[in-house]
Amino acid sequence: MAKAEGNVLLRKKQYQYQRTQLAQYLVANKIEQQMAMLKKRRNKSAELKKSILSLQDYRSRLPSPEYGIQEVLGIEGIASRVYFRQMFDEMDWKGRKPRAKQDITNLLLDIGYTQLFHFIDALLSLYGFDTYQGVYHQIFYQRKSLVCDLVEPFRPLIDQRIRKAHKLGQIHEEDFSFINGQYRIFGKQSQPYVAFLLKSLLDHKQEIFLYIQSYYRAFMQGKAIDQYPVFTVEKKHADRCV
């Protein structure tokens, strides 16, 4: 893979950036995509409609010059709980528990989000970003915080594909093992799941690439936040949620 590790000017700009505008922009785009996925549902219950309105309210609070990172984290966390409860309402959802693998849905989310993480990591490396220097997630030893930041708008692609797999009967409990309180999947049994989750990203690879490219250009040129890219699922690619 080609890398641009010598992009010193870019990294200087990264290390000097101290504001919360980009964090708010990324979370706002994520909430917009969460709303878009829920709006695709054919039959909307009163509870689903209420949840969509709640997400609209949380989205309207961003950006705010009064918010620091903790306030943005709070909005993202509340909005995600509202969203997940509706996205996986037919899958015995008990809450998002990263890496805990307490149920099959959380395990599949971990797999899909890991694929997304590596995809975004590769694209950021093409431009020479220090992927450990985030704008939203705090800097932590050996954590690629910028990658954690830039995956946010794309997570709903994985969420939607898991819901679709459930509705199509593509998730089979017998494929999974339950070991020491965690669900696991191994070998040939994992291949169909890895394949359909990866395809959900590859179907949008052009849009994701252009997003990262536009983000790089906007960051390097010091553009206003409203000139940064916004990810939106194209209608020609969007699967109808059921």
**Residues in the chain, overall count:** 242
User: What confidence score (pLDDT) does residue 1 get?
Assistant: 54
Query: In angstroms, rounded to a whole number, what is the distance separating the alpha carbons of residues 73 and 79?
Result: 10
For the chain, how are helix, strand and coil distributed in percent, rounded to 5? 60, 0, 35
Please check whether residue 9 lies inside any domain of the structure: no
Q: Which residue has the tokens 């990324």?
A: 26
Concatenate the DSSP letters of all residues of 138-160 into one string.
PP-TT--HHHHHHTGGGHHHHHH
What is the CA 239 to chain-centroid distance, rounded?
A: 17
Beta strands in the chain (DSSP E): 177-179, 182-184
Please check whether residue 235 lies inside any domain of the structure: no
Give the domain range for residue 62.
Answer: 17-227
Query: In angstroms, rounded to a whole number, what is the distance separating the alpha carbons of residues 90 and 71?
Result: 31
- In the structure encoding, which two tokens stand for residue 214, read together? 């536009």
Please check whether residue 95 lies inside any domain of the structure: yes
Nearest to 151 by CA among 218, 56, 62, 215: 215
- Could you check whether the bond before residue 192 is cis, i.e. omega within 30 degrees of 0? no
User: What confidence score (pLDDT) does residue 92 get?
Assistant: 84
Please check whether residue 78 lies inside any domain of the structure: yes
**How many domains is the chain partitioned into structurally?**
1
- Per the CB < 8 A criterion, the answer to whether 226 and 26 are in contact is no
Instruction: Give residue-wise pLDDT tens across range 159-175.
Output: 999 999 999 999 999 99
Query: In angstroms, rounded to a whole number, what is the distance separating the alpha carbons of residues 160 and 181?
Result: 26
User: What confidence score (pLDDT) does residue 233 get?
Assistant: 81
Which ranges of the chain have pLDDT less than 50? 235-241
Please check whether residue 162 lies inside any domain of the structure: yes
Neighbours of 95 (CB within 10 A): 12
Please check whether residue 241 lies inside any domain of the structure: no
Question: 177 φ, ψ to 5°?
Answer: -110, 150
Please check whether residue 10 lies inside any domain of the structure: no
Instruction: Give residue-wise pLDDT tens across range 201-221.
Output: 999 999 999 999 999 999 999
Please check whether residue 124 lies inside any domain of the structure: yes
User: What confidence score (pLDDT) does residue 240 get?
Assistant: 47
User: What confidence score (pLDDT) does residue 234 get?
Assistant: 62
Query: In angstroms, rounded to a whole number, what is the distance separating the alpha carbons of residues 158 and 164?
Result: 10
Which CATH number is 179's domain given?
Answer: 1.20.120.920
